[in-house]
Structure 1
Amino acid sequence: MFPRSPLEDPEKAAHAWARYRRIMAYMMTITVGLVLTSVILLYRSNGTISVHAYIATALCVAFTMLLASALMGLAFLSSGDDWKGK
């Protein structure tokens, strides 16, 4: 038999998911900054290129950053370091 997860408690789960949403909001602002920076650097190094290259660069940077931060946030959520003592 597996032990019960502390996330089954509604109060602890609400606290953990609120922390996860804060992490994702913070990472979204960093992602927007990195996307803007990467597009500006691409323009500075290559000049005027196809708009498709800018769109692809922006989407790739955004997708990579948000996927990595979502997975890392879920790892923090499942580790339970924040709610073990409560």
Structure 2
Amino acid sequence: MSSEKSKRPELFIDNQRFDWNEGIITGAELRELGSLPDDVEIFWKVPDQPDVPVENDTIIDLTEHPGPDRFSTQSVGSQAGA
């Protein structure tokens, strides 16, 4: 346990910074943390990979990649942009 980082995972939702006390987060928890309505889709922005859609039951390991995890949102039915 002493080798574990004591710093809380940092994440961004649409460029707004949030701290999270756990090493994992679900899509539902992300939605609640960012006060996101049900009519927006959430995407996990993983460097050098296509954006990953995040459903309410998706489990995300915030320790999997170095640096803060980034998420973006878009209205349901809109086309992903640049």
How does the TM-score come out when normalised to structure 1? 0.23
Q: Which structure carries more relative contact order (alpha carbon 8 Å, separation 6+)?
A: 1
Which structure carries more strand by proportion? 2
TM-score of the two chains, using structure 2 as the length reference: 0.23
Q: Which has the higher helix share?
A: 1
